[in-house]
Structure 1
């Protein structure tokens, strides 16, 4: 009996070992998916099932909806082989051969190593519950951006990276940070400006760029325009919580990155990421004369507006300081110092109010701030058209913004009605997107001209042929 039990246990050994190996591989893949921030784009916040897609990514070319990447065989990627998965993640090509749009950052994921890709595939096939419901919305960009095959030509220019190789001139920590920032975190997708064809500008790596209405700031090592004045501890605090005292707080897409990805990484990875970013060559914005976080101080004007209006007067908030008192001071305090725990941050010594680009101040007012770290939610309500507090019109947002900039931030920066209208519309329109309304008419005109030229050649040929026949007669 003892022999039989021993034999049974011995026989189960290889199976248990295989199971243990798979569990370890899936767990490794889970960590890679977290570092790559897959959750943020493939899950609708608050209501969507993990990785079931349908999240709207608002781009200058139109809204792109993420797909279901659960192992569902009917609605997800359950029928993908590991080779299919690799093609999609690193080359942007689906199983059916169609090209993905680079809202899926395959240009960065191309640097993921073979071992990590293997683990990532194992995780999505074995560690994610399948969701058989198709995504509620599907991408339908206007012509000509709906021609996915055109991405093949774009990829020849911009999708040129290979799996990551450590630099022999850098230490292990910085190489790890480079891999996290480049291959997995795809930081340059947001923090590098785009060129005329909407590819990342290699000459301005991590120098800042617009992501919809938000501005992803310069994160090079420059001490004035970038994060050169931040300590590694401050960067780690920011990655972990979305807030760095006296520096900045995460909103928009960065809040999602902190909530879904960065806060869950081990401290060694966050320190490697900080070390790498501080090693990136500095790039200075000529508009900047001092670091954004150095601007401002406490200021109060509450006493000057007390008693001006009757307590029951309608529409009594008529200028920036009155609007600030009515809508902002209850959280950010009348002197702009914020709450004691800085969940409502100080408005001075704040990158959003000291920056030479005021887009994030405007967007915070329009769209609010919402992030959750360590089980604690940081929430600023939006004052845009869907506000559950009170929608503000463009002029009111201009007035509040300029009051905040003058009182607590960079007084040389001014917000205009155009800035607010641009933020409401989803951010600046790049050149390629601005051409879209004219592309179809231009194509039709070009086709008409081509038909005219072809008709001319046909008629000319017939005349020559008739002339030749006439000579024979």
Structure 2
């Protein structure tokens, strides 16, 4: 978060009117009744909830036509066309074919999908929601003839058949079932977070086979934060410093609706989640997600004492920046937006004092956003006026390490310093091909 990032694959940014209603040129069957259209519209909402457009729509591409590159530990893959085109999309899929691909990661022709597609989460989607999603993708999306692109993964790692064994080991089949003893809102929130919202795909650590280490709150690592594609997706448990422990229910609901609150602002992959998904969700669903997330016990963090704000030592450094390399960079490039007191001008400009991303043990997101900036948050069609710019061309590795170390120590943040080698590594991996 300037927050929760995948956090966190990665991040993507436009308002999506084509999801809010079926496009005028969509393939709606002649004579479709009001009930059919209601199902399509419900599917459109669910597709937003699942953030399908973020991965299946390439920048400047047609909706859901695929082509977006995604980095994996094995190499780059390209997301597929899921429009109802019969030749290059999913126009030939039956509802059963669609459900199998969505929930089991197996395409119509029998080949296994890479688990970059979050089907271990979508396995929890219930039959009624699968039916609505199928109606939307068949009748609410315009068909686009665009061939799918082969991955850049080299043989033998590009073979798909071993994924059958991956599924046997790690895929838990079966739609979400309400937990006894929990109220309606909690269970709805758990269903959304664990299922279509697939929050664990970014925010849960992965094992050696790239599997999510936990799929629900029964495991202690669930949503405790994870490194993915150069970003660290934030801790979403109740941990006091790097998690949501200091966030009120209203803070979290505001963040999900607008991408910013008094603690943090969205960046990286979370920008696209806000733009393409959560801002369009109903207040009831946002409240349910918040209720569930706020129920998670604290896990992880940097081991420091509970954060309390203290400006004094940092103020002395800023009064004499010539004596501190990090303070010199901060006063020249950061202070006008984030303030002498580190509290920024929330929610327009994020605070650094007490920001969960600043306090996180892993500084990858801070390094990445300092190097490369972030895309605009676009709320109700209006871009944010003050997006974070990138400083890769302005500051060298040592300067970035110095200023981030200054920020992570400042205002009583107490987080570990950043080394120039860490910056150099992320600079190389994120700037490649730019």
**Normalized against structure 2, the TM-score is what?**
0.84
- CA 283–354 in structure 1, closer or farther in 2 if over 3 Å, else same: closer
Structure 2 match to 1:448: none
Quote the offset at 1:322 in angstroms.
2.6
Structure 2 match to 1:7: none
Larger of the two Rg values belongs to structure? 1
After TM superposition, the structure 1 = structure 2 runs for residues 416-455 of structure 1, keeping only pairs within 5 Å, are 416-426=419-429
After TM superposition, the structure 1 = structure 2 runs for residues 347-386 of structure 1, keeping only pairs within 5 Å, are 347-370=352-375, 371-378=377-384, 379-384=387-392
Identify the match of residue 350 of structure 2 among 331, 341, 345.
345
Structure 2 match to 1:61: 74
CA distance in 2, matches of 1:229, 1:222: 8
- CA 166–56 in structure 1, closer or farther in 2 if over 3 Å, else same: same
CA distance in 1, matches of 2:350, 2:100: 43
Secondary structure class of the residue paired with 1:215: strand
Q: Is the 8 A contact 2:241 2:354 kept in 1?
A: no
Structure with greater proportional helix content: 1
Count how many residue pairs are aligned between Structure 1 and Structure 2: 392
CA distance in 1, matches of 2:406, 2:295: 36
Identify the match of residue 33 of structure 1 among 9, 23, 47.
47
Q: Which has the higher contact order (CA 8 A, sep 6+)?
A: 2
After TM superposition, the structure 1 = structure 2 runs for residues 74-473 of structure 1, keeping only pairs within 5 Å, are 74-134=87-147, 137-202=149-214, 203=219, 204-245=221-262, 247-285=263-301, 287-291=302-306, 294-295=308-309, 297=311, 299-300=314-315, 304=320, 319-339=325-345, 342-370=347-375, 371-378=377-384, 379-384=387-392, 390-408=393-411, 410-426=413-429
Secondary structure class of the residue paired with 1:50: coil
- Post-superposition Cα deviations, 1:372-431, rounded to whole Å, max 9, x if no partner, equal 2233323112223xxxxx34322221122112223346244100123213323549xxxx
Quote the offset at 1:335 in angstroms.
4.3
Q: Is the 8 A contact 2:353 2:413 kept in 1?
A: no
- CA 321–223 in structure 1, closer or farther in 2 if over 3 Å, else same: closer
Structure 2 match to 1:456: none
Quote the offset at 1:101 in angstroms.
0.6
**Normalized against structure 1, the TM-score is what?**
0.77
Q: Is the 8 A contact 1:347 1:409 kept in 2?
A: no
Q: Is the 8 A contact 2:243 2:356 kept in 1?
A: no
Gaps of 5+ in 1: 1-14, 309-317, 385-389, 428-473
- Post-superposition Cα deviations, 1:319-372, rounded to whole Å, max 9, x if no partner, equal 322322332234324443424x53221221312222232222111102212222
- CA 163–327 in structure 1, closer or farther in 2 if over 3 Å, else same: same
Secondary structure class of the residue paired with 1:233: helix
- Post-superposition Cα deviations, 1:26-53, rounded to whole Å, max 9, x if no partner, equal 00101111111101111123x1221111
- CA 148–295 in structure 1, closer or farther in 2 if over 3 Å, else same: farther
Q: Is the 8 A contact 1:239 1:263 kept in 2?
A: yes
* Displacement over 6 Å in runs of 4+: none
CA distance in 2, matches of 1:408, 1:257: 30
Gaps of 5+ in 2: 1-28
Quote the offset at 1:275 in angstroms.
0.5
Quote the offset at 1:171 in angstroms.
0.8
Secondary structure class of the residue paired with 1:83: helix
Secondary structure class of the residue paired with 2:70: strand
Q: Is the 8 A contact 1:54 1:138 kept in 2?
A: no
CA distance in 1, matches of 2:71, 2:351: 30
Q: Is the 8 A contact 2:242 2:357 kept in 1?
A: no
